[in-house]
Structure 1
C-alpha cells in the first residue's frame, strides 16, 4: 500500500476537530461538591473552568480559569480526575473534550475568600450529591458524580456524551 503525503493544511480538513476545556472539582472539608451558577444560564451549575486558549495546556487553562472566575490561585498538585468527551452532533461542527482536575477540599476560610466574576457566575453553593442530583440536569450531574467517584476511588473517569 502506498501512502500519499498530504500537506498539513489539507490533512486537518479530513479529521475530527474539537474544542477543549479544563477545570477543577472542589469540595468542602465534609466532601460536599462546590459549584457555581452560570451567569449565562440560571439552570447551569459548574465548577471553575473554561475553554482552553490556543497554545495552552489543560493544566494552565484550569489554573487560569479558576483564578479568573474565583480569584483563587490554585497551587495544589496536578491530579487528574476525569476526561470528558462530548459529541455535538449536527447542530455544532466541533466535538468537545474536557479535562477535570482534583482541586481538593477547601476550608471554610478558603471558600469565604472566593470572589466570583459576575460576568461568569452569580452564586456559589455547596450541597450533598443527593441534593445536586435533584437540581441539576442529568448530563451535568453525571459529570459531577463521575468526578466525585474518581476522587473517592483513586481512579480516573472517562465520560462520553
Structure 2
C-alpha cells in the first residue's frame, strides 16, 4: 500500500534529527596540525569551526567560524578533506552530528602570530607533530586527526563514522 503524501512540515517531523558543523584543518609550513582548546571542554582539542547557521553552507560556516574563533580570514578554495557522522543515543543530545572538515592549508609564521582567540570560546592553540598530538589526545580523537591529516597528504577524502563523542 502506498504511503500517504505528507505536507513538508509534517514529513520533516518524521525524519531523524541532526546538527551540522564545519571546520578548517590547518597545519604550519612544517606540517604540524593546528588545534584549539575549547573553554567548555578543556581536556580536548578542536579545529577552528562550529555549528552551521540557518541558510549557511558548510564552507561558509567554516570560514565564518574560523574568523570568529581565531581572527584569521581564509581565502582558499573549498577542498573537503573529510565528513564525519556521529551518532548520539540518549537524552543528553537527542540529535546526530554531521561534520565537514575542509583544508585550510599551511599557516605562515605571520598568520600564526596574528591569531587572536575569542576568550569565550578557546583558551589556547597549539601546533604539534602528529606524534606529539597522539600523546595529548584520546585514541579516538587522535584517529580522527590522523585520518584528516592523511586525507590532506594523499588527496583522498575520508568518511568518519563515530559513536558518541568522548
Task: Give the TM-score range, shorter chain.
Answer: over 0.9
1:131 matched to which residue of 2? 132
1:86 matched to which residue of 2? 86
Gapped regions of structure 2 (runs ≥ 5): none
* 1:35 Cα deviation from its structure 2 partner: 0.6
Q: Distance in 1 between the 2:67 and 2:133 partners? A: 24
Please give the secondary structure, in 2, of the residue aligned with 1:46.
coil
Gapped regions of structure 1 (runs ≥ 5): none
CA RMSD across the alignment: 1.0
2:115 matched to which residue of 1? 114
* 1:139 Cα deviation from its structure 2 partner: 2.5
2:76 matched to which residue of 1? 76
1:49 matched to which residue of 2? 49
User: Number of paired residues?
Assistant: 161
Q: Distance in 1 between the 2:9 and 2:137 partners? A: 41
2:22 matched to which residue of 1? 22
Q: Distance in 1 between the 2:73 and 2:149 partners? A: 22
* 1:63 Cα deviation from its structure 2 partner: 0.4
Structure 1 residue ranges (4+ consecutive) displaced by more than 6 angstroms after TM superposition: none
2:37 matched to which residue of 1? 37
Please give the secondary structure, in 2, of the residue aligned with 1:89.
coil
